[in-house]
């Protein structure tokens, strides 16, 4: 599983890193973020690309699992 650790980064960095990971074609992708804004922006971008997104809350951080 490809992991994108975008914790501590402000938008649009998490979206850009996730998009770059998606372009490699390696799925699933696990994206780690620490803000609601980043979670929603990454989720929205992946879903608009036709991918499935599962969001898990881990403490006060979020893990998004992106699959085809």
Tell me the pLDDT tens digit for each residue of 21-43.
999 999 999 999 999 999 999 99
Tell me the pLDDT tens digit for each residue of 44-63.
999 999 999 999 999 999 99
Burial profile 9-36: b = 16 or more Cβ within 10 angstroms, e = fewer: beeeebbebbeebbeeeeeebbbbbbbe
Tell me the pLDDT tens digit for each residue of 9-20.
998 999 999 999
**DSSP bridge partners of 68:** none
7: its two tokens: 């914790």
- Residue 64 burial by Cβ neighbours in a 10 Å radius (0-12, 13-18, 19+): buried
Mean pLDDT rounded to a whole number for the chain: 97
The CATH number for 2-67, chosen from 3.30.110.40, 3.40.50.10140, 3.20.10.10, 3.40.50.300, is: 3.30.110.40
């Amino acid at each position: 599983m490809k992991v994108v650790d975008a914790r501590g980064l402000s938008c649009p960095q998490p979206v850009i890193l996730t998009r770059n990971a998606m372009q490699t074609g390696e799925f699933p992708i696990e994206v780690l973020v620490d803000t609601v804004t980043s979670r929603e922006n990454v989720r929205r971008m992946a879903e608009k690309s036709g991918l499935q997104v599962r969001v898990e809350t881990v403490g006060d951080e979020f893990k998004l699992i992106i699959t085809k």
